[in-house]
């Protein structure tokens, strides 16, 4: 096994079917996304078909199958944010980042994920970037945010 | 407990607690369904079985609703009919309009439903589905555009075969039936049994057709096309023949294939007899061996089972008999023995195997079944394809003269015919073992056949002083449960296990004509038993041709090619 999963398996010693989702979450938290190899190993450990696990993992938007960018945008699309214009923001953000929701750009700088309610409806619409929250977003502030990141990254480069 | 309910203002006596759908169907009410499968738990996914129940504001799905005493049901009220029609229209909203070019044209449940509901136009447009078809497998083709997400294939693959090669991927409107990581079936856990094809209501799952290959070979003057018909295929053809004279099907099928341009038509029964003799010989060897560690011997004729064992239970493979399957014994006999005896180049022979099996298409691609790049079996036609072939040539089996099959492989014993259904092969092998181990002459050979074709059974046969245990299971779920049970209980009284991957054995094979429900294997077994009575010999070694070939050559897996004829 090239991926080290033993320490995660240890948390679930009974290898039950219901351990699947928590295990996948733990793995994703640690490694950023799920790989084929990981799914095969989990399948072996829990004695569940690889296809079944893939079916479960694709059912939930939270599971990813590719790496995220250095700046991972999570756009809230809960009810309050939707009413506050999250759809327009999403379109704008896709244009600014040049990727679609669920994608990571080629140089690994940006990735965009659309999530359901983050839990700060009073501050809608909002975006989380690398666990920092940007609230009451407008089209202008969104552009400013992305520009700022690009500028910073260009400096580094 | 029996109770009364009112259906369409008529009072009916039904069993309390059973599903409303089965109660209604038993009383002759026609309720359309799509996702429903007998013997499976209901899912209520397609909602076509909706009925109106007094006191309930919503329509309810009768498949997943238990009968309650005194309930008042409407099966064909305006509201019900309208709802069903809308449901079919929604199913059609993203379905391609290519019925004319579709393999299932005329045999499609969606087409039937649309006709039943008087759907005359496309009412909803959901756009085309973008998933590409998957032709990567050697045996099963998938076309997601035609999938209606009824889940029948997913359930049979998971619950009956325990393989889960395909499952629902994603969610909501993006849901698709697909193999893991959107990769092809060729790299999935698929065991090629074709049960998914059997249950698919549309053409989302079909077999990889060899019809064009066969047609091309028939048109190629250099090639001698030789058909090898398995007894199980003859049984399924017999079943579909309408006229009363069912006994000449072999001869009529031979005549039809000759008219297509076949140079020879053989019966794979000879090969099946050889297969049985070799398995019995290996079984006798194991029983006489000192350590007996490789007992029980597990049958090797089912390619799906072998694929399952190799992929899922590699520890069992040492128990599997090392014999080629009958189809490939036949193929190698023709390509080597027959070719040499008749001075024909191996490359000029094109062998076409006709079976009720989809997995044989996969088996033909195994490396051990090819020789210098030439497969022993060039093409495999399922019974469905056989009918398509005959139809395209305008041949009708009902009205055709009779012709004898070609020597030398033109006979099969009753033992060979028995390979077509669950339990039959165990009996054939038992009989041959009885023959080899020389049970005392006073004792007659007795073998108790199971009463139900789908049930798992065991029996003991007294051979000399030994009690030999035989068992048979059909479907992977049964096989897995039985083998686990046997392993856990550490029993050593079972010496031979016949495993067939399809329910009821080849009689329920993935390449059989599409039929709904699981009743067909029973009918086919009955025809088999009739055929056995007319066979010239009962036991495999009775077939003189087979016995002679068995004496002369080795038929262990991997050996036949090294042993020059």
Note whether B26 and B19 are within 8 A (CB). Answer: no
Domains in chain B (CATH in brackets) are: 2-76 (3.10.20.740), 125-207 (3.30.70.20), 211-271+326-392 (3.40.50.1780), 279-322+413-541 (3.40.950.10)
* Residue of B160, B164, B183 to mutate when probing chain A, most A C-beta within 10 A: B164
Q: What's the pLDDT score for residue A14?
A: 87
Query: What pLDDT was estimated at residue B246?
Result: 62
Cα–Cα distance, B26 to B286 (Å, whole number): 50
- Position B347 scores a pLDDT of 86
Name the residue in chain A with its Cα closest to that of B163. Answer: A49
pLDDT for B280 beyond 80: yes
B498 versus B408: which is more confidently predicted? B498
Tell me the CA distances in angstroms from B311 to B172, B339, B363, one per residue in order: 32, 35, 15
**pLDDT tens-digit readout, B464-492:** 778 888 888 988 998 999 999 888 888 88
Residues of A whose CB is below 8 A from B181: 36, 39, 54
Domain ranges of chain A: 6-59, 71-156
Stronger pLDDT, B424 or B444, i.e. the higher one = B424
At B20 the pLDDT is: 94
Considering only CB atoms, A55 lies closest to which of B163, B169, B188, namely B169
In the predicted structure, residue B366 carries a pLDDT above the cut 90:
no
Q: What is the separation of C-alpha A105 from the centre of its chain, rounded to a whole number of angstroms? A: 14
CA distance A12 to A22: 9
The band of B454, judged by pLDDT with boundaries at 50, 70 and 90, is: low
Residue B393 in tokens: 């040539």
Cα–Cα distance for residue pair B516/B293, rounded to 1 Å: 43
User: Chain A contact for B62, CB < 8 A?
Assistant: no
Residue-by-residue DSSP string for B77-131:
-HHHHHHHHHHHHHHHTTS-S-GGG-TTTTS-HHHHHHHHTT--S---------P
Asked if residue B375 has pLDDT above 90, the reply is no
pLDDT of B173 > 90? The answer is: no
Question: Residue B540's closest CA among B461, B440, B434, B444?
Answer: B434
Residues of B whose CB is below 8 A from A51: 164-167, 179-180, 188-189
> What is residue B562's predicted lDDT score, i.e. its pLDDT?
40
Gap between the Cα atoms of B72 and B77, Å rounded: 12
Round to whole Å and give the CA distance between A69 and A149: 12
Residues of A in contact with B180 (CB under 8 A): 39, 50-51, 53-54
Half-sphere exposure of B202 (CA within 13 A, CB side): 26
**ipTM of the modeled complex:** 0.84
Percentage of chain B surpassing pLDDT 90? 48
C-alpha torsion angle, residues B128, B131, B135, B140 (rounded to 10): -90
What is the pTM (predicted TM-score) of this model?
0.88
Band of residue B457 on the pLDDT scale cut at 50, 70, 90: confident
**SS percent in chain A: helix, strand, coil, step 5:** 50, 10, 35
Cβ separation A49–B167 shorter than 8 A: yes
Beta bridge partners, B140, equal: B207
B171/A59 CB distance under 8 A: yes
Q: What H or E segment, with its residue span, contains residue B330? A: helix B326-332
Are A52 and B188 within 8 A, CB to CB? Answer: no
Confidence (pLDDT) at B557? 53
How many Å apart are CA A72 and CA B501, to the nearest integer?
A: 48
By CB atoms closer than 10 A (0-12, 13-18, 19+), residue B274 is buried
Confidence of residue B83 (pLDDT cuts 50, 70, 90): very high
Q: Which residue of A has its CA nearest to B162?
A: A49
Of B34-43, B376-385, B443-452, B525-534, minimum mean pLDDT range: B443-452
C-alpha–C-alpha distance, residues B35 and B30, integer Å: 15
Residue B513 has pLDDT above 50, yes or no: yes
B169/A54 touch (CB, cutoff 8 Å), yes or no: yes
The average confidence (pLDDT) of chain B is 87
Question: In angstroms, rounded to a whole number, what is the distance separating the alpha carbons of residues B325 and B357?
Answer: 12
What CATH number does the domain located at A71-156 have? Answer: 3.40.30.10
The answer on pLDDT for B70 being more than 60 is: yes
Bigger pLDDT: B200 or B565? B200
Put residue B543 in one of left, alpha, beta given phi > 0 → left and psi -120 to 50 → alpha: beta
CA distance A44 to chain B (A): 11
């Amino acid at each position: 096994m090239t991926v080290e999963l033993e320490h995660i398996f240890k948390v679930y010693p009974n290898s039950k079917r219901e351990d699947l989702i928590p295990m996948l979450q733990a793995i994703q938290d640690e490694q950023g996304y799920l790989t084929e190899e990981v799914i095969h190993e989990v399948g072996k450990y829990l004695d569940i078909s690889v296809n079944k696990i893939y079916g479960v993992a694709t059912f939930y938007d939270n599971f990813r199958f590719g790496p995220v960018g250095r700046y991972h945008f999570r756009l809230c699309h809960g009810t309050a944010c939707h009413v506050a214009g999250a759809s327009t923001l999403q379109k704008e953000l896709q244009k600014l980042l040049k990727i679609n929701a669920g994608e990571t750009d080629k140089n690994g700088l940006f990735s965009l994920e659309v999530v359901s309610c983050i839990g700060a409806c009073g501050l809608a619409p909002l975006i989380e970037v690398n666990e920092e929250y940007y609230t009451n977003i407008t089209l202008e502030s969104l552009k400013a945010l992305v520009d700022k990141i690009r500028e910073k990254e260009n400096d580094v480069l | 407990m029996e109770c009364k309910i009112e259906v369409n203002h008529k009072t009916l006596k039904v069993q309390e607690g059973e599903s409303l759908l089965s109660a209604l169907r038993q009383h002759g009410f026609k309720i359309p369904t799509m996702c429903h499968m007998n013997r499976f738990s209901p899912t209520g996914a397609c909602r076509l079985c909706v009925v109106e129940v007094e006191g309930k504001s919503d329509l309810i799905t009768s498949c997943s609703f238990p009968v309650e005493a005194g309930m008042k049901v409407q099966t064909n009220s305006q509201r019900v009919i309208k709802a069903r029609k809308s449901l079919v229209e929604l199913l059609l909203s993203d379905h391609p309009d290519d019925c004319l070019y579709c393999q299932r044209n005329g045999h499609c449940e969606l087409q039937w439903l649309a006709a039943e509901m008087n759907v005359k136009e496309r009412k909803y447009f959901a756009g085309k589905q973008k998933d590409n078809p998957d032709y990567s497998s050697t045996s099963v083709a998938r076309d997601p555009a035609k999938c209606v997400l009824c889940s029948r294939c997913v359930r049979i693959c998971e619950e009956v075969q325990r393989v889960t090669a395909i499952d629902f991927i994603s969610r909501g409107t993006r849901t698709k039936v697909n193999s893991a990581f959107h990769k092809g079936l060729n790299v999935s856990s698929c065991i090629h049994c074709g049960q998914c094809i059997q249950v698919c209501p549309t053409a989302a799952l079909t077999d990889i057709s060899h019809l064009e290959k066969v047609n091309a070979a028939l048109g190629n003057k250099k090639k001698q096309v030789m058909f090898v018909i398995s007894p199980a295929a003859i049984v399924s053809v017999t079943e579909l023949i309408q006229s009363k004279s069912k006994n000449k099907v072999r001869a009529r099928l031979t005549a039809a294939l000759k008219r297509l341009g076949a140079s020879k038509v053989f019966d794979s029964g000879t090969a099946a007899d050889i297969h049985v003799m070799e398995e019995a010989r290996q079984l006798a060897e194991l029983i006489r061996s000192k350590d007996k560690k490789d007992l029980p011997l597990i049958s090797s004729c089912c390619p799906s089972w072998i694929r399952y064992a190799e992929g899922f239970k590699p520890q069992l493979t040492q128990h599997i008999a090392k014999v080629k399957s009958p189809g490939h014994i036949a193929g190698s006999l023709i390509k080597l023995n027959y070719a040499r005896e008749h001075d024909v180049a191996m490359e000029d022979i094109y062998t076409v195997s006709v079976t009720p099996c989809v997995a044989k298409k996969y088996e033909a691609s195994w490396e051990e079944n090819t020789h210098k790049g030439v497969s022993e079996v060039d093409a495999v036609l399922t019974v469905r394809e056989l009918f398509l072939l005959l139809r395209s040539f305008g041949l009708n089996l009902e009205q055709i003269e009779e012709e004898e099959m070609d020597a030398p492989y033109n006979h099969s014993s009753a033992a060979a015919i028995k390979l077509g259904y669950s339990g039959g092969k165990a009996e054939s092998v038992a009989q041959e073992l009885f023959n080899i181990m020389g049970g005392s002459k006073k004792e007659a050979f007795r073998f108790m056949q199971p009463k139900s074709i789908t049930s798992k059974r065991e029996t003991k046969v007294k051979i000399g002083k030994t009690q030999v245990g035989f068992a048979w299971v059909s479907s992977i779920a049964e096989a897995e449960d039985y083998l686990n049970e046997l392993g856990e209980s550490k029993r050593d009284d079972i010496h031979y296990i016949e495993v067939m991957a399809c329910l009821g054995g080849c009689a329920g094979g993935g390449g059989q004509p599409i039929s709904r429900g699981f009743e067909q294997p029973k009918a086919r077994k009955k025809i088999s038993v009739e055929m056995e009575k007319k066979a010239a010999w009962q036991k495999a070694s009775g077939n003189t041709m087979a016995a002679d070939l068995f004496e002369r050559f080795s038929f262990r897996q991997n050996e036949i090619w090294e042993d020059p004829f």
